[in-house]
Amino acid sequence: MRTLQEMTLQEKLGQRLAAGFQGLEPPKEFLRLIKEYKVGNIILFRRNIQDGPQLKKLCATLRKVVEEETGVTPFITIDQEGGVVTRLPESEVNIPGAMAVAATDNPRNAYDMGLLTAQELRSYGVDFDLAPVMDINCNPDNPVIGVRSYGDTPERVAEYGSQMVRGLLDGGVYCSLKHFPGHGDTAVDSHLGLPCIDRSFDELMQRELKPFIAGIEAGAPAVMTTHILFPQIEPEHIPATMSRRIMTGLLREKLGFGGIIISDCMEMDAIKKFYGTVNGVLAAMKAGVDLVFVSQTPALAAEAMQNARRAAENGELDLAELDVSVQRLLEAKAQCAAMQPKTLGDEAACRARAEEVRAASITAVHLPRGGMPALGDNPLFLGCADYRSTIASNAESSGFTFPEEMRRHADKGTALVTDKDPGDAEIAEVVSQAAAHSCIVLGTYNGHILQGQLRLAKALAATGLPMILVALRNPYDLRNMPNHVAALAGWEYTRPLFDALWPVLNGTARPTGKLPLLTLTKAAK
């Protein structure tokens, strides 16, 4: 691998960028980005992956091209958190998400899910997982974190997140704590706007920073930034990613972090809309971010590289700091390549372990006095299809629906797919149809944000029919339901979850999960 002393200025700058592309194969424009600007790192999304064999071939191709053009092996990164942020296709082994794992009330499960994820990724050639999430989801109205967090207390997030870190590292994959210094207590999605968390340093130390400190102590080699304003820490109107006070002053100097700092995507609207991606990339580099992500658009990545080159040549970007950052990245890549991975077992064992944890995560937030309602002879299964509730999720729909999958399992009753935000007319029609059924089973998907789903739930509950409500993402949908409604947290909208849920619905299994949220202690009044 090429040393720092052997690298040109462009090669050094290229090490500090990670870029992505559209499609299953790298287009000419992306290959030109690597060749001309020596971009040395890759990010992959679901849009780039068809199945395991294709992913393995793609990673091998990308690694060969980057090594030939830069003399340095790339980091090939991916957001494989589990649950709602899962980039591997359904054919591969995907783990439950963070809050689901925490609901099992067993930190060992977080370690095993990290080890399993690393084993999967490494087998395909991906060596850097952009996980775990160390945000504390203390704001129920948070539209982007939610079940991606291990819970709403610093202690729980620190404990489970640190175990995930250890599992990923033992499995031979680099990992990154995110989103520093915390994205949990906001009601704005930084993909779409510019959130603000108005806390002092002491307040952050008492809450938001505790999981990150624990993760660093657990050996996390990287920390990802967040595009959020922290006005009491950074008085200039710039987000954490662009703030030298936060990246260098807080993370490097006060917390003593010696690993690599990476950015969240600089094409998110919190940067692109308010500061411009190209300017934001340079500002992040100057702030102390080692590896900056332009994840969607090769042309924009090229423009950012041109701007960084000009800044380095005119003295705006400090060359000594550039060398320190590049050397840090080179050492990280060498360390990653030298890891000696453990395994959890063969593919069948890994799949069984993931399903064991998923089944253990299903949580009864509230059960009626008589227990789980019986489905009866003619149950009504209903709910919306999944949808892209945040840009952090995959762009495409799953192609299957909760009501249809449950109807298939039951082999009786009716499946009714509703709108994701039903209006009064649809609600009235659904309530009318429900009257002929023996039990109502409603799946919601972020109904606390799209309130039509909750209006439908309460209208159906008012019929007095036996009813089961399943939250298929954030469990805040389960608040304030009548006592006769059984309220279950399922945590994700996937076929494996539906398979695990069915024995609970038909009464052959008990939900054993424990709610990892102090802000949601029960669903009934």
State the first-to-last Cα distance of the chain, in angstroms, to the nearest integer: 63
| pLDDT at 97 exceeding the cut of 70 | yes
Q: What is the mean pLDDT of residues 320-340?
A: 98
| pLDDT at 481 exceeding the cut of 80 | yes
Q: What is the mean pLDDT of residues 196-221?
A: 96
pLDDT at 524: 36
- Tell how strand 485-489 and strand 363-366 pair up: antiparallel
Residue 68 — very low, low, confident or very high, per pLDDT cuts 50/70/90?
Answer: very high
pLDDT at 73: 98
Domains and CATH numbers, the chain: 27-297+323-337 (3.20.20.300), 362-505 (3.40.50.1700)
> Which of 112, 127, 129, 264 is an active site residue?
264
Q: What is the mean pLDDT of residues 387-406?
A: 74
pLDDT, greater one: 524 or 203? 203
> Which of 191, 227, 366, 437 is an active site residue?
191
| pLDDT at 144 exceeding the cut of 90 | no
**Cα separations in angstroms, 194 against 127, 178, 188, 230, 282:** 31, 17, 7, 11, 19
pTM value surpassing 0.85: yes
Residue 189 — very low, low, confident or very high, per pLDDT cuts 50/70/90?
Answer: low
Residue 481's CB is within 10 A of a number of other CB atoms, namely 22
pLDDT at 354: 98
Secondary structure letter of residue 524 according to DSSP? B
How many Å apart are CA 208 and CA 210, to the nearest integer? 6
**Cα separations in angstroms, 321 against 4, 104, 247, 327:** 13, 44, 14, 10
Residue 185 — very low, low, confident or very high, per pLDDT cuts 50/70/90?
Answer: confident
CB–CB of 233/204 below 8 Å? yes
CB–CB of 124/56 below 8 Å? yes
Torsion of CA 264, 269, 274, 276, to 10 degrees: 70
Q: What is the mean pLDDT of residues 496-525?
A: 86
Q: Active-site residue 227, yes or no?
A: no
| pLDDT at 417 exceeding the cut of 50 | yes
Q: What is the mean pLDDT of residues 77-95?
A: 95
> Shortest CA distance to 174 belongs to which of 243, 105, 235, 223?
223
pLDDT at 337: 96
Q: Active-site residue 448, yes or no?
A: no
pLDDT at 403: 98
